Structure 1
Amino acid sequence: MDASVTLMGVKGGPAIRPGSNMPTSILLRMGGKTILVDAGLGVTRGICDQGVTLTDIDMIFITHLHSDHYLELGPFFHTAWVAGLARKIPVIAPAGLAEYWHGFLSSMQYDIDLRITDEGRCDLESLAKLQTLKEGVIHSHDGLKVTAMRNIHPPIAESYALRFEASGKSVVLSGDTAFMDGMIEFADCADLLVHEAMLLPGVEALCARMTNGDERLRAHILRSHTSAEDVGRIARNARVKHLALNHFVPDGDPDFKESHWENAVRENWDGPLTLGKDSITLVL
């Protein structure tokens, strides 16, 4: 079977509005595994829309603890559980996810206990096999290798890019990150680089319309994300075979069209380019 990457949610940030895409989640099918990376709002429906049964997810990676990357992890597990999940799924995430998981379980305790006693369900808590995400090779088994690199996403220190390799193919996911030279080496000669991107004029427009934030939001975006121009530079210098953009900042603004994104990336990149959209699948 060909390796593939499905961008189930490509919006940067947790808010959704009419016309926007959904927050971040990515489905990889590589090395005989079905892998979920990040679990933003809508991820459970997104998996099903790809014809994948929730109980068939083999591994889950959470790149960092911003809500648009793990808000729906608990509801995913609960929904998979009532759909028949009875085996543990490894969840590799930065330290701190356990507090969210136990908080979710606590918030749903009445329903969980009821379904165990009334329906004979197995224990839900044990189905998420939490493991701490750290730099280096974090999985190397059955022909699939996964490597993590700490990226730059202040104020969060535990934030990671991931590289997946199987059957001679390689996929690099930048995670949320500011520009960093280390991404060039990390993505060297990858078959596909999926990189977050911001459009600088769009950031200014986004912040001008914000009703419940202040100058700190603008400062955060500019210091924690990568301009589309710099994404093109990374792809060029890393000699990747295909570049795809995701985690768009802004997303859903009618004043900024695909041509604006493409023109910015094309300042430094003339290779194959995909502007991500929800549910788009890229086959390696």
Structure 2
Amino acid sequence: MHHTQVTLLGTKGGPAIRPGTRMPTSLLIQMDGMTVLVDAGLGVSRALCDAGMALTDLDAILITHLHSDHYLELGPLLHTAWTAGLNTPIAIYGPEGLTQYWDSFLQAMSFDIELRLRDEGRPALAPLAQIHVLNTGDMALGSLQVKVMRNTHPPIIDSFALRIEGQEHSVVLSGDTAPMEEMVSFAQGADLLVHEAMLSAGIDALCARVGNGDDRLRLHLERSHTPAAEAGRIAKDAGVARLALNHLVPCDDPDFTEAHWQEETRCTWDGPLFIGTDGMTISL
């Protein structure tokens, strides 16, 4: 039986974790018989298993940009899948630089990899990752069509939003981005928009807790991410059926609860709303 659903595997914005917090970004799309992982933040291997997904059953992996909370565990995921029996290549699409990451991971793990090749008779690991450069435009991914749009996530230039379309359903993933009017047309009429979100009232507390000593973190957040109310407005203007907030900033401050996210987003969006939590599955 084929599922048609999106599973939010990791929903935390940013790379740091603390006791009791959500895990960084990763998301699973199951549609038209395809199983596609989008981003591979810390904890993705465990999250896939917890979602009932064999690591050897992934059809493709898409990496939206090269911030560590989106690809830190890509190498360990592939290595772990390999030790679990992966023996066919996986198509991987990501920005320029992803090949360098993979080559460096293989070098760092060369003792273990070479040992397992000799001692356990495993297939070569390196060719199992078929890495392609992700660019704007349209591409086929098995039975799915993927539209790729560059989003606004300075200082990174190669950062992308994705629209994944099957025969009957469409899902749009904003990626990490500041509010974009182009997202309205990109997401027009989608069954589900998964949009990153920042809780405006929580930014002061977040910056105080991190304590970097200057205002660079605040400036990054304000120019590179989307307030929840703006995510709601984009969803409304795009006429999407449902909105899920993902890559939540902040999501580990006990002073800010789901009620705060609901309150800010409901200023602009009155449709079905999901405040992302790790392991949340949204049926299409």
What interval of TM-score do these two structures reach, taking the shorter chain for normalisation?
Answer: over 0.9
2: distance between equivalents of 1:273 and 1:214?
35
Q: How does 1:35-50 map to 2 (within 5 A)?
A: 35-50=36-51
Separation in 1, partners of 2:96, 2:214: 29
Tell me which residue corresponds to 1:19: 20
1:177 aligns with 2:205: no
Distance, in Å, in 2 between the alignment partners of 1:202 and 1:243 is 21
Q: Matched residues in 2 for 1:87 and 1:187: separation?
A: 33
* C-alpha distance in structure 2 between counterparts of 1:217 and 1:31, whole Å: 41
Is 1:207 paired with 2:210?
Answer: no
Question: Could you report, residue by residue, the CA deviation over 1:59-86 in whole angstroms, capped at 9, with x for unpaired residues?
Answer: 0000000000000000001000010001
* Amino acid corresponding to residue 61 of structure 2 in structure 1: I
Show the counterpart of 1:219: 219
The CA deviation string for residues 162-181 of structure 1, in whole angstroms up to 9 with x for no partner, is 01111210000100000000
Q: What corresponds to 1:234 in structure 2?
A: 234
* Letter aligned with residue 85 of structure 1: L
Q: What displacement does 1:141 show?
A: 4.2
**Following superposition, which runs of at least 4 residues in structure 1 exceed 2 angstroms of deviation?**
211-214
| Structure 2 residue aligned with 1:194 | 194
> Are the structure 2 counterparts of residues 13 and 118 from structure 1 closer, same or farther at C-alpha, using a change threshold of 3 Å?
same
d(CA) in 2 for partners of 1:202 and 1:50? 30
Determine the structure 2 residue equivalent to 1:58: 59
**Correspondences of 1:1-284 after superposition (within 5 Å):** 1-139=2-140, 141-142=142-143, 144-212=144-212, 214-284=214-284
How many angstroms does 1:50 deviate by? 1.1
Identity in percent: 59
Question: 2-side partners of 1:112 and 1:181: how far apart?
Answer: 46
**Structure 2 residue runs without a partner (length 5+):** none
Which amino acid in structure 1 is aligned with residue 271 of structure 2? G
Measured against aligned partners, the alpha-carbon deviations of 1:75-125 in whole angstroms (never above 9, x if no partner) come to: 001000010001100000011101111111111000000000111111111
**AA paired with 2:138?**
V
Deviation at residue 138 of structure 1 after TM alignment: 2.1
Query: Which string of whole-angstrom CA distances, capped at 9 and with x for unpartnered residues, describes residues 106-162 of structure 1?
Result: 1100000000011111111110000000001122543x1111110000000000000
Measured after TM superposition, the shift of residue 2 of structure 1 is 4.2
Deviation by residue 1:210-242 (Cα, 9 ceiling, x = unmatched): 134631111111100000010010000000000
Distance 2:4 2:251 in 1: 28
Q: Name the aligned partner's letter for residue 14 of structure 1.
A: P
Separation in 2, partners of 1:211, 1:139: 44
Corresponding residue SS for 2:37: strand
State TM-score, norm by structure 1.
0.98
Name the SS of the counterpart of 2:92 in structure 1: strand
Cα distance between partner residues in 1 of 2:87 and 2:141:
24
Shift of 1:202: 0.6
Cα 1:126–1:70, aligned 2, differ >3 Å: closer, same or farther? Answer: same
Moved more, 131-140 or 147-156: 131-140
Pair 1:171–1:118, CA change in 2 (3 A): same
Q: Give the C-alpha shift of residue 31 in structure 1.
A: 1.6
| In structure 1, distance between residues paired with 2:15 and 2:85 | 29
Number of corresponding residues: 283
